[in-house]
């Protein structure tokens, strides 16, 4: 079986993500050519153009996951700090 036949036999699925403001850019040309070649060997490809989708990479406060319970549990834990130069020495009063 040839290499090309082996690639087709794998039933590959590809995702191509492009992020360039100019649809006539070199980046878009490479993405389009890659997608054409993938389809030519019988595999599937999904192309996503982040600029065309008006993708906003900034995470907004209302989109953040709620971490109330884990944060509360961290706040109730006493901090443990290594004073400078004491990393290799046991802290006074510390039992193991």
- Burial category of 49 from C-beta neighbours within 10 Å (exposed 0-12, middle 13-18, buried 19 and up): middle
We report the CATH number of the domain holding residue 8 as 3.40.50.360
Q: Is residue 93 part of a domain?
A: no
Q: Is residue 43 part of a domain?
A: yes
Give first-to-last CA distance, the chain, whole Å: 62
Task: Show the domain range for 43.
Answer: 3-75
Q: Is residue 83 part of a domain?
A: no
Q: Is residue 9 part of a domain?
A: yes
Q: What are the pLDDT tens digits along the chain (96 aa)?
A: 565 666 555 678 889 999 999 999 999 999 999 999 999 999 999 999 999 999 888 888 887 776 555 555 555 444 444 445 555 555 455 444
Spell out the residues 6+ positions from residue 76 whose beta carbon is closer than 8 angstroms to its own: none
Its pTM stands at 0.54
Nearest C-alpha neighbor of 23 from the set 45, 47, 48, 49: 49
Number of domains in the chain: 1
Q: Is residue 19 part of a domain?
A: yes
């Amino acid at each position: 079986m040839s290499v090309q036949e082996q690639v087709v036999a794998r039933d590959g699925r590809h995702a191509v993500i492009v992020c360039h403001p100019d649809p006539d850019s070199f980046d878009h040309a490479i993405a389009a050519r890659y997608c054409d070649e993938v389809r030519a060997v019988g595999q599937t490809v999904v192309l996503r153009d982040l600029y065309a989708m008006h993708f906003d990479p900034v995470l907004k406060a209302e989109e953040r996951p709620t971490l109330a319970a884990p944060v509360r549990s961290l706040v109730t834990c006493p901090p443990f700090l290594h004073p400078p130069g004491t990393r290799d020495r046991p802290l006074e009063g510390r039992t193991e």
